[in-house]
Amino acid sequence: MSKVVVLGSLNMDVSIEADRIPSAGETLEGRDLLLGPGGKGANQAVASARMGAETLMIGSVGSDLFGSELIDSLAHAGVSTGYIKREAGDATGTAVVIRSSGDNRIIVSQGANHSLGVREVGDALSVVAQPDDILLTQLECAPLVVWEAIRHAKSLGMLVVLNPSPAHAIPADILPQVDLLCLNETECSAVTGCQQDGEESYRRSLEALIEGGAKRAVLTLGPRGSAALDENGYYRIPAERVAAVDTTGAGDTFVGTLSAFLSRGHELREAMEFATKAAALATTHIGAQGSIPTIEEVESAFGKDGENEWDTSNN
Ligand code: RIB
């Protein structure tokens, strides 16, 4: 079993529910305020650790209270935090999440996430990485640092899982170094330039990503499940029906679970099936990191044989 090394962001999430998204100049009353640990990198690291993979995170927080809380949250989930930098001159990353009608809108203040430099990430990877370990990364740290980390990871013999989120174009020389690209519809449109409007567009976009050099690609489609293109061709995994209350962190749960299962040598399809269940379960609680289930919680909710024992009455 190889380990999962996550390079990515840590944010404190300020999350609030509203009946609708306010218009320009409008103030709305919200409810169910939650202050909790988040950040795409940290959420994916927690998911990976809760699915039983040895997980280490490379990241950066400010030397403030939020930074300490975010590191504690990772350590509590079993993630190794020795390569998370405390940056005195920056505030810890913060995200404002507005939840409305079962969906969310997020604005991020990058803060210390963008203070990680190419050299310190490269030095950390050189020390911790073994061939066949997974580098799991996203785009909430500076993209230039991420691209360089991917090049370095490949030179060390690592497998690269890239979740290009938030949406950003990917340099042409990076795609051929990506072993698994996992992205949602918005991100897929940003990377391929193709609109996602149905089965044919999903298949064509995934084909374009593979033609661009990615070894395998997975497109997540929310309530419509996910689609993949790998050495077995194009296939779909249906979504699980659950009583969803908040989708924040569900995509991160999916990607972190995928990486944990791949680190244990599972086939991509099998990893996607379990990741779909884990992500569905994450939507049944409010918040990002706090709602990511353990492997045992997923098995007990859905049964080891994959049968859904979860309450679907609200859907
Ligand atoms: O993907 C969800 C995450 O995006 C939130 O936890 C928030 O911090 C933003 O980074």
Task: Yes or no: say if 284 and 76 are a contact pair by the CB < 8 Å rule.
Answer: no
252 is catalytic: yes
Pocket test for ligand 1, best of 9, 10, 12, 13 (most atoms within 8 A of CB): 13
Number of the ligand 1 atom closest to the C-alpha atom of 9: 10
User: What single letter denotes the amino acid at residue 179?
Assistant: D
Residue 185 CB–ligand 1 contact under 6 Å:
no
Please report the pLDDT score of residue 303 as a whole number. 79
Summarize pLDDT for 56-70 with one digit per residue, the tens: 999 999 999 999 999
- Beta-bridged to residue 60, according to DSSP, are 85
Number of the ligand 1 atom closest to the C-alpha atom of 165: 1
Pocket test for ligand 1, best of 248, 257, 291, 292 (most atoms within 8 A of CB): 248
C-alpha distances in angstroms, 55 versus 50, 112, 185, 288, 309? 9, 21, 27, 18, 29
Copy the structure tokens of residue 161. 């899982």
Summarize pLDDT for 4-17 with one digit per residue, the tens: 999 999 999 999 99
**What is the mean predicted confidence (pLDDT) over 300-305?**
81
Please report the pLDDT score of residue 305 as a whole number. 55
**What is the mean predicted confidence (pLDDT) over 264-277?**
98
Residue 50 CB–ligand 1 contact under 6 Å:
no
Please report the pLDDT score of residue 314 as a whole number. 34
Comparing CA positions, the residue from 293, 256, 248, 298 lying closest to residue 277 is: 298
Using 50, 70 and 90 to split pLDDT, how confident is the model at 304? low
